[in-house]
Amino acid sequence: MAQTDFQLMRQRMVEEQLKSRDIADPRVLQAMQDVPRHRFVPDNLQHLAYRDSPLPIGQDQTISQPYIVALMTQALQLSGHETVLEVGTGSGYHTAILCELARQVFSLERYPELADRAGATLASLGYENVEIHVGDGSQGLPDMAPFDAIVVSAAAPGIPNPLRGQLAEGGRLVLPVGDRESQWLERIWRYGDTWNIERITLVMFVPLVGMHGFSGAQFR
C-alpha cells in the first residue's frame, strides 16, 4: 500500500473515530494525524492499522484502539515541556504519540522482545526523546522520577503506590483500574499528599502483571 493511502486512512481515522467522539485537543489530533500507526503493527496486519479496534502485536499483547490512545493522551493534558512515564510500551505506538507531545518520555515494558521491537521502530522514525526500559512498570522508574504525567496501558487491580509517589506536584496519572473483565479508566491528580481520582470511562485492557499489578500465575 502506498504512503498516500496510509495518510488518507489516517485522516479518516482522525475524522471518524476521534473528532466525531470527544477528542478535541488540537495537539493530540495533530499527533494522531502524524504518527504512522501502520509501522507499529505486524506486516501482515498493516492494512488494518487504521481500524477502530485493537490489534495483536505478539506475546499475547495488543496495540490499543486509536480512540483509546487519543483519549488517554488527551486526559494527560500535555503542553510540550513534560517528562512522561509510560508503563506498557507494547508496540511503541502510544510512545510515539507521547514523544510528539512531551519533552522526554520514559517507557517501561516487561517483555524484552516487545521493548526491542518498539525501540527499533521508534528509532527508525527518528524519535530521540525516548528511553525504553525493560522491567516491572508497576514499580515505576524511581531513578527518573518525578513525572509530570504517567500513563499505564495495562489493567491494574488498584492504583500502584509507587506510581502515586512518582507523580510530580500537579502531575496526573491515567490508568485502567478494575478486574480482568473490565476496568474504569481513571485520572489521578496529585496535590501534595492528596490524590484526586476521576473516572473517565469503562475500558478493557490486558493485565498489568507485576508486584503492584496482577500476579504472573493468574495471567501469563
Active site residues: 64
**Cell 517507557 appears where?**
107
- Rounded to a whole number of angstroms, the minimum distance from the CB of residue 102 to ligand SAH is 15
Which of 50, 67, 111, 127 is in the footprint of ligand SAH by CB under 6 A?
111
Residue whose CB is less far from ligand SAH, 25 or 136:
136
Exposure string of 143-155, with b = 16+ CB inside 10 Å and e = fewer, is: eebbbbbbbbbbb
Asked whether 65 and 98 are in contact (CB, 8 A), the reply is no
Q: Which stretch binds ligand SAH (CB under 6 A): 74-82, 122-130, 178-186, 202-210?
A: 202-210
φ/ψ of 45, rounded to 5, equals -115, 5
Point out which span in 43-51, 166-174, 191-199, 208-216 binds ligand SAH (CB under 6 A): 208-216
- Does residue number 147 form part of the binding site for ligand SAH (CB under 6 A)? no
Q: How far is the CB of 103 from ligand SAH (least distance, A)?
A: 20
CA dist 207 → 12, 138, 144, 167, 180 (Å): 30, 11, 24, 22, 7
- Residue identified by cell 486509536 is 66
Q: Which residues, in sequence order, are CB contacts of 99 under 8 Å at separation 6+?
A: 105, 122, 127, 129, 130
Q: Does 186 bind ligand SAH (CB under 6 A)?
A: no
Q: How many residues bind ligand SAH (CB under 6 A)?
A: 26
Q: Considering just the CA atoms, what is the radius of gyration of the chain in Å?
A: 16
Q: Which is nearer to ligand SAH, 74 or 153 (CB)?
A: 153
6/4 Cα distance (integer angstroms): 5
Does 156 bind ligand SAH (CB under 6 A)? Our answer is no
Scanning 23-31, 120-128, 185-193, 206-214 for contacts with ligand SAH by CB under 6 A, the matching segment is 206-214
134 has which bridge partners? 109
CB of 194 to ligand SAH, least distance (A): 26
**Interaction mask 43-82, ligand SAH, x per CB under 6 A:** --------------x---xxxx------------------
Residue 58 and residue 89: Cα distance in Å, rounded? 13
Q: Where do contacts with ligand SAH occur on this chain (CB under 6 A)?
A: 57, 61-64, 87-88, 90-91, 93-94, 108-111, 114, 136-138, 153-154, 206, 208-210, 213
